[in-house]
Amino acid sequence: MNDSLRANPAVAVDVSCHGQAPDAPAAGGGRPIFLVGMMGAGKTTIGRHLAKALNREFVDLDLALESRCGVPVAVIFEIEGEEGFRRRESQLLDQYSQQQGIVLATGGGAVLAEQNRGMLKERGVVVYLRATSEELYQRVARDRQRPLLQTDDPRARVAQLLAQREPLYEEVATLAFDTGSTPISQAVQDLVALLEQHEHAR
């Protein structure tokens, strides 16, 4: 734990953490592709496969934050609250969204800040991975890693967050893609085709 987050919460608000900054933006490589959507939409899973299929580097914002801070996202929430987490998330998004040629999986709440939405819209192609509330819930119900769902009624929480965030995902989206009943491998193939179509139409 290089950030002493748990050992000494008083120093935990060092927003920079101590990990490495992202590499300098690669020359060329195309505009970054940003995946947005709710928890359980498949941003992390599909993003990793999509990057491979497109021969791009994959970055997951939560994993990048965890690796920089040396603690899981849940611990950042525990110690700094959602506000502290969002501050770190915005800072990292600002850095990675300038990196050309990557596929970037954001966290589900990255669209909440207006400043983040601006970065996403201006800097890359934004794909909204969509699924119904029930599909999302089924995918994340047993997962202990998502602090916002550690409530008495996670199903209702997913529904409430989706209702609040859907307009924000739609606001930033260049393209939307339904992941509901599509197996992951098929979703990746379809997304590659959708992105190619989009590039040709530009």
Ligand X SMILES: Nc1ncnc2c1ncn2[C@@H]1O[C@H](COP(=O)(O)OP(=O)(O)O)[C@@H](O)[C@H]1O
Ligand Y SMILES: O=C(O)C1=C[C@@H](OP(=O)(O)O)[C@@H](O)[C@H](O)C1
86 is in an annotated binding site: yes
Cα–chain center distance at 151? 21
What one-letter code names the amino acid at 47? G
Say how many C-beta atoms besides its own lie within 10 A of residue 118's C-beta: 11
At 7 the three-state DSSP class reads coil
Residues that bind ligand X (CB under 6 A): 37, 39-46, 105, 139-140, 179, 182-184, 187
Kindly report the backbone phi and psi dihedral angles of residue 143, in degrees, each rounded to the nearest multiple of 5, phi listed first: -85, 125
Which CB, 12 or 108, lies closer to ligand X? 108
Contacted entry of ligand Y, ligand X, Mg ion, none for residue 124, CB cut-off 5 to 8 Å set by kind: none
At 109 the three-state DSSP class reads coil
Residues that bind ligand Y (CB under 6 A): 39, 43-44, 62, 73, 107-109, 146-148
- How far is the first Cα of the chain from the last one, in angstroms, to the nearest whole number? 45
27 is in an annotated binding site: no
43 is in an annotated binding site: yes
Contacted entry of ligand Y, ligand X, Mg ion, none for residue 53, CB cut-off 5 to 8 Å set by kind: none
The span from the CA of 149 to the CA of 171, in Å, is 24
**Shortest Å, Cβ 73 to ligand Y:** 5
State which of residues 37, 44, 58, 129 lies at the interface with Mg ion (CB under 5 A): 44
Which CB, 25 or 147, lies closer to ligand Y? 147
**Shortest Å, Cβ 157 to ligand Y:** 10
**Shortest Å, Cβ 44 to Mg ion:** 3
Which CB, 101 or 107, lies closer to ligand Y? 107
- Can you point out the beta strands (E) in the chain? 33-36, 57-60, 102-105, 125-130, 175-178
Which of these, 156, 41, 33, lies nearest to 97 by C-alpha position?
A: 33
Name the binding residues.
40-45, 62, 86, 108, 146, 165
